[in-house]
Structure 1
Amino acid sequence: MFRRKSIDNIQENLYETNQGTSHKTSTIDCDNISTISISQLHYEIENKILFDHFSYEFKKGKRYAIIGASGAGKTTLVKLILNYYPKNLYDGEIKINGKQNIDISSEELYKDIAFVQKNDFLIEGNILENIKLARNLHLTEKLRKSLGFNEDFLRKNLAQSNQIISEGEKQRIDLARFLVKTYSVYIFDEPTSNLDPIKAKEIMDYILSIKDAIVIVITHDQNPEILEEFDQIIVL
C-alpha cells in the first residue's frame, strides 16, 4: 500500500506505536543540539538488567558506534533517549541540551534528530520522489554515488506493478530520506544490514563523513577497519 507522509510523520508514527501520542509542549533548540547526556540510567525488562547506573554523554562533532550482542540493549538505549518508553519504566536522567527528554514533545525531538531504522513504506511515484517526500531538497552527486543510485533507478516508477525493488534497495531509500537533509543528530540502526560488503563500506564512509552533528551508529559489524574510524565505541 502506498501512503504519502512527511519524514517527520514517519518518525513520529513509529514513536507513537510504542508509547502513544505525545502532548508535551516544552521546546528545545533543535537546530543546534550539542549534547545528549545520560546519567545513572537503570533499566530492566523481564527481570533482565540492561542498564545498571549507566552514564554517558554524546557530543556534537563526534561519531559513536554502539556494539554488542543481540538483546544487549543497543536499540533500547536509543529508544530511551527518544522517549519510546515512559519514565516510570526506568531510573536516571536523560537530557538533550540540558533539558529532560521527557519534557520534550516527539514533534520537537524529530525536527532535527534523524532516527534511521527499517521502514518499508513507499509512496506512489518514482524513487526520487520516495526519497524527497515532497520536500524541497537536493540529492547531491556525492550522496547519489555513495548510495549506488543511477539516474535510471531514480526514475523507476513504483506505481507500476512490474517494478520490484530489493530489500537492499529499500534500505538505501530509507537512508537517503534522512541523509538528503541536514540534522543535528543522526542515529542509524544497523544501516548496512541488507547490503553487500562493498556498498556497505561506501555508505558507512559517507555516514562517517558527516560533520557538525552527533552521529550514532548501532551495528553488529565489528570490522576493525570500520570501528577505528569512530571517535568512540560503546560496548553493551
Structure 2
Amino acid sequence: MRAFNKNTRVDVVENKNRPLISVEGVTKNYAGGIVALDSISFGIHEGEFVSLVGPSGAGKSTVIKLLIREEIPSHGQIYIANRNIATIKRYQIPYFRRKIGVVFQDYKLLDHRTVAENIVFALEVSEASDEEIKNRVPKILNLVGLMDRADVFPNSLSGGERQRVSIARALVHSPKILIADEPTGNLDPGTAQDVINLLRKINSSGTTVILATHNKDIVDQINQRVIKLEKGKLIEDRKTGGYGK
C-alpha cells in the first residue's frame, strides 16, 4: 500500500473554458439494470449557489457520490477544476476530497469528542500542524456561531447545533466547494432556516455551494439556480427561481 505523504497533491490545471464543476453526459448504472443517472450534463461556476432537487430516488445522492469520487460514472466524464476526476489515483482521493466539504443529514459526528475536538480531529487526520489547528479551530467555531459550545459533547446539542458542527468540520480545509446533502431533513422549520442562512453566508464569501434537497419551501426562499432531477434524468435547469412543479 502506498504511504500517504502530507506533500502529496492532486495537480490541477485551470481552464477558463470549463466551469469549476462540469458534468458531461454522465450515466450511472448499477447491477440489476438500475439506471441511477441517465446521460445528464450541467456545469457549475465558482461562487454559485445551486439547489439540486428532486424526489427520493431521483439521483441526487448518486450525483454527490460521483462528485466526491466515491464512485465513478459508467459513461461520461466529470471535471472539477478541469481535472477528470475518474483519472485520480486511489492514493490521491483523500487529498482531492479536501477541496470539497460535505455536510450530511445525519451529521456523522464523533459522540465521544466535544464540538472543538470534532473539528480538531478533521484537521489532525490531514496532518495539520499544531499551530494551524490552534489558529483554524476558533475561526471556524466563530463562523458557525458555536464558540460558546466548544466544550460540549454532541449528545447535549440541539439538531441545529449538530448540523452546524457538521458544517464547521466540512470547512476545515477552506474548500472551494461545499456540498450539503439534505442538511435540514431532520430539523424544524426555524432551525432549518438558520442552517440555510449559514450556507448562504458561506456562499457569500466565494465558496460554491450545492444544496441537495427535496424541501420546496427552502428552495423557493433561496431563489437561486435550481437543477431538478427525476428518475435519473435532468428535467430542468433554471438560473434563478423556486422548486417548480
State the TM-score, normalizing by the size of structure 1: 0.72
Match of 1:156 in 2: 152
Alpha-carbon contact 1:127-1:156 (below 8 Å) kept? yes
| 1:31/1:140 CA distance change after superposition, 3 Å | farther
Match of 1:4 in 2: none
Whether 1:100 aligns to 2:94 is no
Match of 1:48 in 2: 34
Give, in whole Å, the separation in 1 of the partners of 2:109 and 2:141.
23
Report the alpha carbon displacement of residue 165 of structure 1 after superposing the two structures with TM: 4.4
SS in 1 for 2:140: coil
The correspondence for 1:127, drawn from 115, 119, 123, is 115
Whether 1:70 aligns to 2:56 is yes
Report the alpha carbon displacement of residue 231 of structure 1 after superposing the two structures with TM: 3.1
Match of 2:216 in 1: 222
Alpha-carbon contact 1:208-1:230 (below 8 Å) kept? no
Deviates more, 1:119-128 or 1:66-75: 119-128
Report the alpha carbon displacement of residue 193 of structure 1 after superposing the two structures with TM: 1.7
Give RMSD over aligned pairs.
3.2
| 1:22/1:44 CA distance change after superposition, 3 Å | farther
Alpha-carbon contact 1:31-1:112 (below 8 Å) kept? no
Whether 1:27 aligns to 2:41 is no
Whether 1:116 aligns to 2:103 is yes
Q: How many residues align?
A: 203
Give, in whole Å, the separation in 2 of the partners of 1:57 and 1:75.
17
Alpha-carbon contact 2:115-2:153 (below 8 Å) kept? yes
Give, in whole Å, the separation in 1 of the partners of 2:228 and 2:153.
42
Report the alpha carbon displacement of residue 35 of structure 1 after superposing the two structures with TM: 0.9
Report the alpha carbon displacement of residue 126 of structure 1 after superposing the two structures with TM: 3.0
Letter in 2 for 1:84: E
* Overall identity of the aligned pairs, in %: 26
The correspondence for 1:85, drawn from 44, 53, 71, is 71
Alpha-carbon contact 1:190-1:219 (below 8 Å) kept? yes
SS in 1 for 2:186: coil
| 1:52/1:173 CA distance change after superposition, 3 Å | same
Match of 2:224 in 1: 231
Q: How does 1:1-16 map to 2 (within 5 A)?
A: none
Match of 1:213 in 2: 207
Alpha-carbon contact 2:109-2:118 (below 8 Å) kept? no
Match of 1:203 in 2: 195
| 1:191/1:22 CA distance change after superposition, 3 Å | farther
Give, in whole Å, the separation in 1 of the partners of 2:210 and 2:29.
22
The correspondence for 1:194, drawn from 177, 186, 189, is 186
Alpha-carbon contact 1:30-1:112 (below 8 Å) kept? no
Give, in whole Å, the separation in 1 of the partners of 2:64 and 2:143.
28
Give, in whole Å, the separation in 1 of the partners of 2:213 and 2:188.
15
